[in-house]
Amino acid sequence: MPISDLSMYDSLSYSLDSVLNALQQTETQLGTGKRVNSPSDDPVAYGTSVVLNAQLSAANNDVNLAQAIQGKLTTVSGQLSSASTAIETAIQVATQGADASTSATEMQTLAQQIGGVLDSVISAADTKYDGAYVFGGNQTLTAPYSASGAYSGSSGSNTFTFMDGSRVHLTYDGQAIFGDSNSGLIGTLTALQKALNAGDQSAVSATLSGLQTGLQQVALANAAMGADLQTVSSVISNQNTNVTNIQATLSNIVDLDVAQATSQEQAQSLQEQALTSFAAGLQRVPLVDIIA
């Protein structure tokens, strides 16, 4: 063998290393189902995938948070609806109590009914969801209302802003909705109960307008909550679409054509076998033939 044929060993070694590296990369791709697993596979595609994965994570996070807020608002809206039903009962009771034909004994019974309504409204005003009080304004760790209807919350509210800029309320100023023991709906219910116990039909009648106003305040609060629920539903829908689109783009960039990769693996395996066989044949040539 001429001395120049020594270069064949270097060429063969290089070719074998290249085929083995390519085969290892293909096997890795088949194992992960991804064409791009590291920056060296495709630097541009890898960089794009990093950005897209960050966007995907943010979109999924928005969906998860929106679904959690949706559950909260749905529960709280149900509490407001229950409060509205209780107020309607109070209006019926007050109307009956203001009737001149109602006896003092009957008014005492009606006062007990209003006591139950008052308890129901205060219970709704003290709604707690996932460890936080909803109607305490910025104060979420302690109940905003006492058993007598005294308000100890704040006049603020907490909000959450999604990626697209949409904002919804997480907490509300309870006093603006329910009042307290001396004003608003709770104050009116308290006055109604006292008037019924005292048999004062004129005072009972005077509470009717306050009850109507209280019913309207609760209804307005529930409508605002409904608007927040619509916002959350829109965020969930839009971000789910965004997630689907990002996933499709990612798939086009990094996912593997399994059939093509399998065929490529077979071809690379055959190359590796051929080169290994050829190298084994060269190793059997006597050294003296190489340097002669």
pLDDT at 236 over 90: yes
β-pairing verdict for 167-169 and 159-161: antiparallel
**35 inside domain:** no
pLDDT confidence of residue 264: 66
pLDDT confidence of residue 291: 44
**189 inside domain:** yes
**274 inside domain:** no
CATH of the domain at 74: 1.20.1330.10
Helix, strand, or coil (residue 59):
helix
**255 inside domain:** no
pLDDT confidence of residue 189: 98
**28 inside domain:** no
Give the residue with greater pLDDT, 164 vs 255: 164
**101 inside domain:** yes
pLDDT at 287 over 70: no
What span, in angstroms and rounded, lies between the C-alpha atoms of 101 and 123?
33
Q: What is the pLDDT of residues 149-170, one digit of tens each?
A: 999 999 999 999 999 999 999 9
The parent domain of residue 140 ranges over 52-244
| Alpha-carbon torsion (183, 185, 187, 192), positive or negative | positive
**182 inside domain:** yes
pLDDT at 258 over 60: no
pLDDT confidence of residue 259: 63
Domain count, the chain: 1
Mean pLDDT of 21-48: 75
Q: What is the pLDDT of residues 82-103, one digit of tens each?
A: 999 999 999 999 999 999 999 9
pLDDT confidence of residue 292: 43
**198 inside domain:** yes
- Counting residues of the chain whose pLDDT is more than 70, the rounded percentage is 77
Q: CB-based burial of residue 87 (10 Å sphere; 0-12 exposed, 13-18 middle, 19+ buried)?
A: buried
The whole-model pTM stands at 0.76
